[in-house]
Amino acid sequence: MLDNYLLQELAAFANTGTLAKTAEQLHVTQPTVTRGLQKLETDFGVQLFDRQPNRISLTVTGQLAAKKATDLLQANQDLVTTIRNFDNSQRILRLAATIPGPLILLAPYAKSEQVKVDSQLLPTDKIKTALTSHHYAIIFSNQEIIDDQLSSQSIGKEQLSVHLNKFMYQANQASITFAELKDLSFIVLQEIGPWRRLIQEAIPTAHFFYQTQRDAFSEITQYSDFPFFSTNIVPLKPTDQRPSATDNNRVTLPITDPSATMTIYATYLTSEQAQVSPLITKLIETFPTA
């Protein structure tokens, strides 16, 4: 059985290239590192180092051993993290989303001690890893994931609308298409997940002014005529409720293109279905209609 600290010394030496820097990185003395690498070489029973009068380097075999040691150390750390996350998941449901709408739906549940909602949008390519490591119990996205370990369940459809000044010629109709919004300039909140790519591709000639500060964005949309987007879940502007019905300067038009509707899925480990189903059922029952 190889000692963990010896593997750490080997990995650190491969990373730093010298005994002195290895000792500095590990906060030990250089003789300690020297003895440790000698012991590791003895334990393997092969030559790992090429020793010259003023220099020591890894042999080809040593390079392979260092890579495997690094992989093993990372696997050990991943194991610890996964077990800790699993233990936490037995007491607290940790939730995340790759799209902002579900975070609004989850707001009432976030006040519970049994639920923790991550307010930062998760990259879509992290969904499987974040679930299999038990970092999250449910991740909400616009992707249905087909996987042996995971299950995806539809909780509803999010429909995009646009808010226009009522005096614009495009406003004199019951609905609108992306093509009819060409060349316009929009105020858009920075963090809107996959909606950002969608509107950029659907209206390539439009101009989008992205805002990171919600308060500033709210003021701009209140005192300017720039169009902005919203959905049946949440306005994509920095307010917690829909624009007031008494706002006589704007009209709200649903966008009828098929791509303007996204199905929202709750994805989770199939083995944890019984644990997450009650919350998913509640979200389905309260999901806003388009």
CATH, residue 229: 3.40.190.10
> Residues 149, 75: one domain?
no
Contact (CB, 8 A) for 290 and 261: yes
> Residues 66, 97: one domain?
no
CA distance 110 to 58: 52
> Residues 255, 201: one domain?
yes
Please give the pLDDT value at position 110.
75
Mapping DSSP to helix (H, G, I), strand (E, B) and coil, where does residue 116 land?
Answer: strand
Contact (CB, 8 A) for 130 and 262: no
> Residues 194, 163: one domain?
yes
> Residues 133, 276: one domain?
yes
Helix (H) or strand (E) segment spanning residue 110? none
Residue 182 lies in a domain: yes
Mapping DSSP to helix (H, G, I), strand (E, B) and coil, where does residue 2 land?
Answer: coil
Please give the pLDDT value at position 257.
97
Q: Which amino acid does the sequence have at 26? A: L
> Residues 41, 18: one domain?
yes
> Residues 185, 281: one domain?
no
Q: How many domains does the chain have?
A: 3
Range of the domain at 239: 156-261
Residue 249 lies in a domain: yes
> Residues 102, 245: one domain?
no
Residue 206 lies in a domain: yes
Q: Torsions phi, psi of 99, nearest 5? A: -140, 140
> Residues 228, 195: one domain?
yes
Q: Which amino acid does the sequence have at 65? A: A
Residue 111 lies in a domain: yes
Give the DSSP per-residue string, 151-180.
EEEEEEEEEEEEEEETTSGGGSSS-B-GGG
> Residues 161, 238: one domain?
yes
> Residues 73, 23: one domain?
yes
CA 234, distance to chain mean position in Å, is 19
The residue from 34, 58, 79 where one domain ends is 79
CA distance 219 to 212: 13
Q: What is the pTM of this model?
A: 0.67
The CATH number linked to 45 is 1.10.10.10
Residue 84 lies in a domain: no
| Regions of the chain where pLDDT drops below 70 | 85, 87-91, 234-247, 290
Distances (CA, A) of 52 to 56, 57, 142, 244, 245: 6, 8, 59, 78, 81
Mapping DSSP to helix (H, G, I), strand (E, B) and coil, where does residue 122 land?
Answer: coil
> Residues 64, 119: one domain?
no
Please give the pLDDT value at position 52.
87
Please give the pLDDT value at position 108.
85
Please give the pLDDT value at position 162.
94
Please give the pLDDT value at position 242.
44
Residue 235 lies in a domain: yes
> Nearest to residue 133, comparing CAs of 75, 180, 190, 182?
75
